[in-house]
Amino acid sequence: MAGSERRDIAEALAVRILDHVHASGLQGGAHIRSQDLATRFGVSRFPVGQALQLLADRGALRHERNRGYFVAEGKLPDAGALGLSARDSIAESYFRIADDHLRGRLPDQVSETYLREAYGLTRAELAAVLGRIAQEGWAERRAGYGWSFTPVLTTPESLAQTYRLRLAVEPAALLEPGYRLAPEVAAQCRAAEQRLLAGAIETDSADELHERGVRFHEAIVGASGNPFFLDTVRRINRIRRLLSYRSMLDRSRYRRQCEEHLLILDRLEAGRPEDAATLLRAHLQHTIRNLDEIRALLEP
């Protein structure tokens, strides 16, 4: 891989890491784990390390020898203020491939040469895109040659079915014996919702909006202490990802969703999981009703 390609990949990852820190509501001093980021973005730890060092060089993170990277104290700058390009060619290509796949424009099996030429990608960029797609589970490398797309949710009804399953699972998780949402986790969830209400609903990318919702629901379900609830929700979130992205073409409903998330947090922090479960059930039911209103956006 040429040096310029490595720099482009590192800069694109740095922008995504910075967006992730903003969207997660991480405060100064929070530890940034490179393996977690590599898993999240579907890349190896090497480009993540380059991106983290780039952010440290520009003051957004600080590096401590033998301990890793931490969010710098004070107001966290955005990508533009750090001189980083806000354009992420990897993310853009990812969404183009995702949309083409949902619309049936791509064959079930493709070669890497075909994808590079069709989307104008370098080998390094394509490797990053395919790594992310494979990590999310909707394509896999074929034995010997090329890639195969795996079946994913492609209709509004299939997305609604996942929400009905969540409706059965998530409120029940809040009623598990010994349920406890850690204060620091609750604070991160609250900060992420407040950031969206302050304006990020309109400016965050589709994947950051999706990840914010995923983090909230997995955080409150994970606090049940029952790994089977959390594993179920994680599996659902992986397979609904692509249609979830498309649903974000209409962002008008996100303010109400954020406000509902904050009410659920209020009840959990007050030690009232039964009330929180009731609110969560109503929240998911409201989302299911909303799917009918945006059905045209979800059609293949």
Domain boundaries 3-82, corresponding CATH code: 1.10.10.10
Q: In angstroms, rounded to a whole number, what is the distance separating the alpha carbons of residues 271 and 268?
A: 5
Contacts of 172 by beta carbon, 8 Å cutoff, 6+ apart:
229, 277
Confidence at residue 124, expressed as pLDDT on a 0 to 100 scale: 80
Q: In angstroms, rounded to a whole number, what is the distance separating the alpha carbons of residues 46 and 76?
A: 24
At residue 227, what are phi and psi to the nearest 5 degrees? -65, -20
Confidence at residue 68, expressed as pLDDT on a 0 to 100 scale: 93
Confidence at residue 143, expressed as pLDDT on a 0 to 100 scale: 81
- Sketch the domain layout of the chain as residue ranges: 3-82, 89-149, 156-298
Same fold, 89-149 and 156-298: no
Coil, strand, or helix at residue 271?
coil
Domain 156-298 superfamily per CATH: GntR ligand-binding domain-like (1.20.120.530)
Confidence at residue 295, expressed as pLDDT on a 0 to 100 scale: 58
Q: In angstroms, rounded to a whole number, what is the distance separating the alpha carbons of residues 297 and 300?
A: 8
> 252: exposed, middle or buried (C-beta count within 10 Å: 0-12, 13-18, 19+)?
exposed
Full pLDDT tens readout for the chain, 300 residues: 455 566 667 887 888 888 788 777 788 888 998 888 887 776 778 888 999 999 999 999 999 988 999 999 887 877 777 877 655 677 788 888 888 887 788 888 999 999 999 998 888 888 888 888 887 778 888 887 799 987 666 667 777 888 899 999 999 999 999 999 999 999 989 988 998 899 888 887 777 788 888 889 999 999 999 999 999 998 888 777 776 766 666 677 889 999 999 999 999 999 999 999 999 999 999 888 877 665 554 555
Domain boundaries 89-149, corresponding CATH code: 1.10.10.10
